[in-house]
Structure 1
Amino acid sequence: MNRYLLAMLLLLPQITFAIGEIKNNKLSGVISDQKNNTPLPGVSIFIPEIQKGTISETDGSYKLDNLPSGKLTIQFSFIGYESVIKTILIKTENTHLDINLPFTTVTTQEVVVSGGFPSAQHENSIKISVIKENELQQLSTPSLGEKLASIPGVDVISRSPGVSTPVIRGLSLNNIIFLNNGVRLENFQFSTDHPFLTNEQGADHIEVIKGPASLLYGSDAMGGVINVLKEKPAPANSFKANINSEFHSVTQGNSNSIGVKSSGKDWFWMIRANQQSHKDYKDASGNYVPNSRFNTEGLQVGLGLIKEYGSFKIYYDYLQPKLGMTNGESLKVVSEGKRKNHYWYQDLTQHLISSRNRLFIGRYKLEVNAAYQFNNRRLNGNPNSEIFRMVDMDLNTFTYDSKLYFPSSDNSEFLVGFQGMHQSNQNHEAPNRVIPDAQIDDFSVFSLMKKQIGAANIQFGVRYDHRSIYVPEQEAGGHSHGEAEEHEEEEEHHDEGEHEEELVHINRKFDHLNASLGATFHISELLLLRSNFASGYRVPNLAELSQHGLHGNRFEEGNMDLDPQKSLESDLGIHYHTHNHNIDFSMFYNKVYDYIYLAPTDEPAPEGEGNVYAYSQQDAKLYGGEVAINVVPLSFLQFHTDYAMVIAKQDDGGRLPFIPQHKWNMNVKLFAKGNKLFKDPFFSINWKYAFKQDNPAQFETETSSYDLFGLQAGSDFKIGKYNVNLLVSASNLFDKKYIDHLSSLKSLGFYNPGRNLSIKLGINL
């Protein structure tokens, strides 16, 4: 605790000013079409830093009250027009800003917040990919992981639509960080059976950093960061409500969400409830994949106060998924095609409460955030056996961070900050201790500078991290056989639970220094070049340090002497855009030192089959790239294609696990003119081709190529005074029988989902 107080004391002397006279700053203006200068009503005006926005009136005018003094980034967006992002310095009580929106037919840039400073995508030295709200709505799958995989360079390790783990440029699990509205999620994500617990229902957009982001987020961000941003509050002085419902034939599943929100002059509130219920999915042969069912309930609440001197927000998220486990044990007892979870399932509970605040003090900005997460993980087996609850653990995590933004000029910005975490894991009365009782403490300090020099935006930062891991002396626990991923046949429970007793005690401290240097060169208004060089690191997790027991029918042994993984990655990207097409090209090279992996030893296993498998380390490298092209040759026709590849090798010539197949996607979308009843109708056809993966890791096998087709049609229309959105989709249209290389059911011989017919209906009240 002393170090936390010390960090605050280091920051406070720099705030040598007082809050001056509070002014009612106003921003107003008129928004018009750039081509013919006609007013545009219904344009969204939004300030991400304070979560405040409004809508332009019928004459194109807009007004925002009670704004803080200082530098603010504002986004003006409207369907069919290119988003305009302005960074302005509010000095007087009445600031006037007129905006001309240019027409565009392709995807436009967004304001992104995951890169340190709220800014336009084109200003960041690191590429931040974005899935916007309307794009999320058009991704017809019950799996958040599959939605993320629509981004080139992002893939998904999947056991079922309910259990999936994202992969960013070949790195996954504890090599990436998942954020819920900026809060780092911690929910036992050390295995492919443990998905990140977040809910994208109602999300405004998702931001993905591809590549090391340890400078901003610390350990585990060496592969990248995924940030799910909450929906925006209602425009000032308004009330909004919506109902969304969808059905998927492949799981006979439904997903429903209802949300209401309201904003006044200087406050807002929002609440959203959601649920999902899915049966076992069917493959292309019409066969059920036993126990791939899942059921989820969730609740999201938000409250906010926005004044001239700052914004203060508090959020509560509740999620309770029940995830079926398809493994050797469940195949013996589960009835296919059912909905409820009875045998071999994870019963998870997550509560997350977070406070996110920003103070405007003179020309300084101070951000102070804190969050508390409670996660309970229960693995339930066969209720007819002697022991039903196999695993019962609580993970409690307190995270905090603060950033001080110094006075900025038109061409420079600078911040310093600190972050920290206190985490405790506690096992209850259950026979399997997947990870031991433990405490983890993090603390870091960092600084980030951004400066424009001519046509180049330069960004540089440094960071120091400290982590301590303490595991009091206790008996090492074996893994629950419910988590077996690679093996069809498993021994009975009472046999698996027997192994040599071994005590584990860990008291280790890790320190690391990271840096990042990048630049964006605006060669012209249409062409920019982006480059970045960054370091990253990851401290070994508790499973890698302390494991001792069976995992499936393989005996696995942790290594308490593991060193942290470290990496150096270089990125190069090119972006070119006009009003009717854009091209994104990027390539990367990531050198990973002391990569942690599992390998067999010469020691015979005390139980299970073969020899002991132990964690070892070796240097490795990952390299590849992505390209994406959007073209609108005619006003009613849009064409998209993208290609992504990654190659990953250990220095001894071996291959890294969970490396996706190279994939090529194409999509053609047709737009109709519409009429009084139907607004903006469209039809699209898409094709995905996955190349053969003939470079598997030591415990993997080769995977054949496959291709999938899909169709989609949708339109907005009105029912009375309500705006309604309808979307009908068919994925895996020809019912292709295939297995993706990253399917964790591959070793059990189960195929990926077959044809899925889905329908989505959204009603805005």
Structure 2
Amino acid sequence: MKNILLMIVLSFVVQLSFGQEFKGKILDVETKEGIPFANIYIKDVQVNAISDSIGNFSIDVPLPKEINILVSASFYESILMKVNSSLFISVGLIKSHLELDEVLLRPKSGTMQRDNIIRVDRLLIKDLNTVPVSNLSEALSNINGVQEASMGPGISKPVIRGMQGVRVLSVLNGMRLENQQWGADHGLGISQLGIGALEVIKGPNSLLYGVDAFGGVVYIEDEKFESQNAYSVNINSKFESVNLGYTNSALIKLSKKKFRFNLGALHSSFSDFQMPNGKYLADSRYQDMGVKTRISYNTNNWVMNMYYMFSHSYNGIPGHTHDSIPDPESFMLDFQNRQRNIPAQNINNHLFQLNNKFFLGKNKIDLMLGYTNNSLNEYDEKFTIPGLGMSLQNILYHLRYNIKSGSWTIKSGIQGMYQINKNIAEAEEQLIPDFDQLDNGIYSIISYKTNSNFSFQFGGRYDLRNLNASDDFSSKYSSPNFSIGGKYEFGSINRNTLLLNISSGFRAPHVSELLVNGKHHGALRYEVGNPNLKSERALQFDLNYELNNEHLSFVFNPYYNYINNYTQIVAQDSIVENLPLFNFEQIDKAQLYGFDTKIHFHPHFAHWLHLEGSYSLIYGESLNRSENLALIPQPRLNFVLRVKFKKRFKFNLEEIVVQNSHFFAQNRVTTYETTSSGYDLSNIGLKFKWFIKTPLEINFGVKNIFNAEYINHLSRLKNINVFNPGRNFYISLNYLIKRNFN
């Protein structure tokens, strides 16, 4: 592999004689001809450029002397390389018929997936346009080993290897998201507006991300800025038949020499969704609106990124009842409605983030400062007085120093968050008490790459959490954690990669587990906390094997996760205020184990055809009680057929996608769960492009083609026996205007 990469990077360089302008040429390594419209992305400065019709590019931006650039082009293998910005460079790319899973983890490691020691799954939002998704949790469920727990399209959250809620940490552009994710009826809280990619790290990752990265990390990354000296306007509109839902959004991008700017807005409205039986689920309606902006400015040795987002969401709460034995028919309507009603949630989010990078020769300092404000009001009996209301504020910081010396890389930092949660005075009830929480952590990660095909990484971290609640509760939680991993590559035509990682995890109990006491209407239960809960501790063994060649990509990823003090909410044989009683308990020893596997085949005789398949399986067990853990996802088998067409006409069919997901029956349940039947979901999507002066992209298709009646094992509506949405026709229009300032 190393020899191939050395061949790719052609080595002639000529000293520039004029200023700071960074120039080069992108070539086909075999024909030596220029590659038109290749993308050159300078990772550290977040600057894009596009090569011209003969492969030349020029970037007139103040740059550090040493920079990392990612070069990519359609039908070629991408390459990440470090170069001197004062030199003319020439880069050769190898043709690739198969789009390999080459993840660039920009915020943390800045490496391609093939160079990573930790397996990271990456999903580009633009790749989902042919069969669009309703929310980011549904998008994440396209990743093997990730599913979603939902109360319909309006309220959903990701589930990674059987873990969700406070066990899964969500990060937006390097800043952790805190939005009352402990609640079963609280979704991810971020729309698709301006989002470019999603990344998932499965299993405990306390070393990189802190105390709550116990079950996995979801990294949400904004779209890139526009290419240098250009501006664009992207207008998107989507309609879905199952809930008469529409989403309209616009995103403006502008990029000059030192300054880059993005501004976007979104509005969506959805009525009650139709079930396969023709009825409509009452109060499954939801609305969302938001604005976001992102500004970047740089000099030679400094880059500043500033980010602000506001979102307002209205979510109906389906399945709400005061009956101890609910009747599914009572939640079904003969008509559709989108007007605001009760019960419902009103959610406002403000996010502000300031990132600074300082370049000190080969080394770098990263400083992130952030502030988030989440306001959650739930209306149960009255439109004007919330039954539950909370205000959550978070102040965050992260300082990291990156040292590069030969084959060694050292990343050390400190990271923390101060959190204040208060119940609003006018709310009728309190579910959790007022509290404040202070997190601080210190870490160091050391990586080394040998001259052969072996590299390794190890690191350590120490975290301390101080928690104080209004009902005289105070506690401290702390723990050291470690991670060690290695990678070995072998083969030339068939590129084989073995990754082995051993990592520990630590999660302090959340206030909602310690001190909750009251009716949780959205979750349809009465919850009582346990102030004696201990911190969860995990140790995961993760093995990943990958095979890549010109036409085939194969991944096999078995894992084993051993957990002490596993916390779960357990149904009691009692009814309180017409709701089932649930308590929080701990299992001394638990294990989660299974595997994810996927294959992508692109036959030589049919370059227009892509066949993809994946399978995920997970078991969760209590070792000391000899019983199954609750809410373990169903085994899932996915199949995707993708046919791509060449441009032949002014109005052209570009792509057809056929998807089928088979969810196997879940019979391994705990004592208070019911089993779930298996089912199939099939989708088909078509992408057209109309090549007018400004091309128009049109996507049309059907989700749940056969109108299957199904209830996913993780559905929050399973306990009232309500089906998920039925057949759904959709159409989306995407209009992109892009111009150069010259």
Q: TM-score, normalised by structure 1?
A: 0.89
Deviations 1:225-259 (A, max 9, x none): 01110111111111111101111111110111101
- SS of residue in 1 equivalent to 2:127: helix
Matched AA of 2:46? Q
Aligned counterparts of 1:66 and 1:328: Cα–Cα separation in 2 = 56
Instruction: Choose which of 27, 35, 52 in structure 1 pairs with 2:30.
Output: 35
Q: How does 1:208-247 map to 2 (within 5 A)?
A: 208-247=200-239
Aligned counterparts of 1:714 and 1:181: Cα–Cα separation in 2 = 30
Instruction: Choose which of 627, 631, 634 in structure 1 pairs with 2:601.
Output: 631
Matched AA of 1:560? P
Bigger mean CA deviation after superposition, 575-584 or 292-301: 575-584
Residues 662 and 52 (structure 1 numbering): CA distance in 2 closer, same or farther, change over 3 Å? same
1:587 and 2:558 correspond: yes
Instruction: Choose which of 124, 142, 147 in structure 1 pairs with 2:139.
Output: 147
Cα-Cα RMSD: 2.1
Q: CA deviation at 1:57?
A: 1.4
Would you say the 8 A contact 2:46–2:225 is kept in 1? yes
1:458 corresponds in structure 2 to 456
Would you say the 8 A contact 2:591–2:622 is kept in 1? yes
Residues 273 and 220 (structure 1 numbering): CA distance in 2 closer, same or farther, change over 3 Å? same
Aligned counterparts of 1:531 and 1:63: Cα–Cα separation in 2 = 41
Aligned counterparts of 1:601 and 1:635: Cα–Cα separation in 2 = 57
Residues 34 and 609 (structure 1 numbering): CA distance in 2 closer, same or farther, change over 3 Å? closer
1:366 corresponds in structure 2 to 365
1:406 and 2:403 correspond: yes
Aligned counterparts of 1:403 and 1:72: Cα–Cα separation in 2 = 18
Q: CA deviation at 1:262?
A: 0.6
1:545 and 2:514 correspond: yes
Deviations 1:490-549 (A, max 9, x none): xxxxxxxxxxxxxxx211011110100011211134111111100011111111110123
Q: CA deviation at 1:680?
A: 6.5
Q: CA deviation at 1:451?
A: 0.6
1:488 corresponds in structure 2 to none
Would you say the 8 A contact 1:26–1:95 is kept in 2? no
1:516 and 2:483 correspond: yes
Q: State the identity %.
A: 28
- SS of residue in 2 equivalent to 1:407: strand
Would you say the 8 A contact 1:123–1:457 is kept in 2? no
Instruction: Choose which of 157, 180, 184 in structure 2 pairs with 1:165.
Output: 157
2:350 corresponds in structure 1 to 351
Q: Which runs of 5+ in 1 are unaligned?
A: 1-22, 474-504
1:562 and 2:533 correspond: yes
Aligned counterparts of 1:671 and 1:133: Cα–Cα separation in 2 = 18
Would you say the 8 A contact 1:260–1:270 is kept in 2? yes
Q: How does 1:87-98 map to 2 (within 5 A)?
A: 87-88=82-83, 90=84, 94-98=86-90
Would you say the 8 A contact 1:304–1:313 is kept in 2? yes
1:493 corresponds in structure 2 to none
Residues 71 and 561 (structure 1 numbering): CA distance in 2 closer, same or farther, change over 3 Å? farther
Instruction: Choose which of 686, 691, 705 in structure 2 pairs with 1:733.
Output: 705
Residues 685 and 555 (structure 1 numbering): CA distance in 2 closer, same or farther, change over 3 Å? closer
Matched AA of 2:419? Q
Aligned counterparts of 1:627 and 1:86: Cα–Cα separation in 2 = 29
Q: CA deviation at 1:67?
A: 4.8
2:265 corresponds in structure 1 to 273
Q: How does 1:642-721 map to 2 (within 5 A)?
A: 642-651=614-623, 652-678=625-651, 681-719=654-692, 721=693
1:431 and 2:428 correspond: yes
1:571 corresponds in structure 2 to 542
Aligned counterparts of 1:365 and 1:642: Cα–Cα separation in 2 = 39
Deviations 1:11-30 (A, max 9, x none): xxxxxxxxxxxx96443211
Matched AA of 1:704? S
Q: CA deviation at 1:431?
A: 1.6
1:121 corresponds in structure 2 to 113
Matched AA of 1:540? P
Would you say the 8 A contact 2:100–2:548 is kept in 1? no
Q: How does 1:12-31 map to 2 (within 5 A)?
A: 25-31=20-26
1:490 corresponds in structure 2 to none
Residues 39 and 609 (structure 1 numbering): CA distance in 2 closer, same or farther, change over 3 Å? closer
Bigger mean CA deviation after superposition, 593-602 or 652-661: 593-602
Residues 85 and 27 (structure 1 numbering): CA distance in 2 closer, same or farther, change over 3 Å? same
Instruction: Choose which of 79, 89, 94 in structure 2 pairs with 1:102.
Output: 94
Q: CA deviation at 1:715?
A: 2.6
Equivalent residues, number: 704
Matched AA of 1:156? E
Would you say the 8 A contact 2:103–2:122 is kept in 1? no
Q: CA deviation at 1:471?
A: 0.7
1:491 corresponds in structure 2 to none
1:619 corresponds in structure 2 to 589
Bigger mean CA deviation after superposition, 329-338 or 117-126: 329-338
- SS of residue in 2 equivalent to 1:116: coil
Matched AA of 2:491? S
Matched AA of 1:512? S
- SS of residue in 2 equivalent to 1:142: coil
Aligned counterparts of 1:575 and 1:441: Cα–Cα separation in 2 = 41
Bigger mean CA deviation after superposition, 509-518 or 354-363: 354-363
- SS of residue in 2 equivalent to 1:635: coil
2:196 corresponds in structure 1 to 204
2:292 corresponds in structure 1 to 300
Matched AA of 1:469? L
Matched AA of 1:430? A
Q: CA deviation at 1:69?
A: 3.4
Would you say the 8 A contact 2:105–2:113 is kept in 1? no
- SS of residue in 1 equivalent to 2:198: strand
Would you say the 8 A contact 1:333–1:343 is kept in 2? no
Matched AA of 1:437? D
Aligned counterparts of 2:339 and 2:19: Cα–Cα separation in 1 = 56
Matched AA of 2:251? G
Q: CA deviation at 1:608?
A: 5.0
Instruction: Choose which of 274, 285, 289 in structure 1 pairs with 2:281.
Output: 289
Would you say the 8 A contact 1:233–1:269 is kept in 2? yes
Q: Which runs of 5+ in 2 are unaligned?
A: 1-17, 323-329, 738-742
Q: CA deviation at 1:110?
A: 3.9
1:8 corresponds in structure 2 to none
1:132 corresponds in structure 2 to 124
- SS of residue in 2 equivalent to 1:122: helix
Residues 601 and 323 (structure 1 numbering): CA distance in 2 closer, same or farther, change over 3 Å? closer
Would you say the 8 A contact 1:109–1:120 is kept in 2? no
Q: How does 1:460-539 map to 2 (within 5 A)?
A: 460-473=458-471, 505-525=472-492, 526-539=495-508
Aligned counterparts of 1:554 and 1:685: Cα–Cα separation in 2 = 39
Bigger mean CA deviation after superposition, 554-563 or 450-459: 554-563
Residues 333 and 33 (structure 1 numbering): CA distance in 2 closer, same or farther, change over 3 Å? closer
Deviations 1:554-576 (A, max 9, x none): 54321112111010001001111
Aligned counterparts of 1:194 and 1:580: Cα–Cα separation in 2 = 42
Aligned counterparts of 1:540 and 1:277: Cα–Cα separation in 2 = 36
Q: TM-score, normalised by structure 2?
A: 0.91
Would you say the 8 A contact 1:550–1:608 is kept in 2? no
Q: CA deviation at 1:342?
A: 1.8
Deviations 1:131-156 (A, max 9, x none): 01321323422122111100000000
- SS of residue in 2 equivalent to 1:444: strand
2:13 corresponds in structure 1 to none
Residues 678 and 605 (structure 1 numbering): CA distance in 2 closer, same or farther, change over 3 Å? closer
Aligned counterparts of 2:362 and 2:467: Cα–Cα separation in 1 = 40
Deviations 1:185-217 (A, max 9, x none): 000011220012112222221111111111011
